[in-house]
Amino acid sequence: MERDAMGDFLANWYAWTKALHVVSVISWMAGLFYLPRLFVYHVEVVGSGNPTDTLFQTMERRLLRGIMNPAMIATWIFGLALVFTPGIVSWSELWPWLKAGAVLGMTWFHHWLGLRRKDFMAGSNSRTGRTYRIMNEVPTILLLVIVFSVIVKF
């Protein structure tokens, strides 16, 4: 597809792309909020080396691989499609840079959670429930930056 044809395609599908982006973000955020809470309960209540530990590891793996990873990938795909839609993003303004930085932060957090899940699998988690409670605030802060950047466009 040549450049103008691609722009036309993206412009014609803009509403669908935006809707799919929003659905993907909601799914991703649900996991980013829930997985650290599972980790809190895993550390404080479950412990390791018992059947409930195995159950929690299964729940954490399925949440990350079955919901969060696909939702993050879809968020990025539809988000980039929106970025490349003509007339949607002006990189001379501050808001897209703030949003991009926050999305990169959200992606880092996602991968940090994936590493922590591997710690639980290996029986080597060294973080406390308090650490996971504090880290559970990261996606909230990043979400606020993203939403206000896009809606208020400061």
pLDDT reading at 22 higher than 90: yes
Which structural domain, as residue segments, surrounds residue 28? 3-152
Q: State how far the Cα of 9 lies from the Cα of 69, in Å rounded to an integer.
A: 27
Q: State how far the Cα of 82 lies from the Cα of 30, in Å rounded to an integer.
A: 22
Mean pLDDT across the chain: 95
Q: What is the pLDDT of residues 115-136, one digit of tens each?
A: 999 999 999 999 999 999 999 9
Residue with tokens 């980039």: 80
Assess contact for 28 and 75: CB atoms under 8 A. Answer: yes
Binning the chain into helix, strand and coil, the percentages to the nearest 5 are 80, 0, 20
Res 38: pLDDT: 97
pLDDT reading at 106 higher than 60: yes
Q: What is the pLDDT of residues 52-104, one digit of tens each?
A: 999 999 999 999 999 999 999 999 999 999 999 999 999 999 999 999 999 99
| 1 pLDDT tier (thresholds 50, 70, 90) | low
Percent of the chain exceeding pLDDT 70 equals 98
Total domains in the fold of the chain: 1
Res 4: pLDDT: 82
Res 148: pLDDT: 97
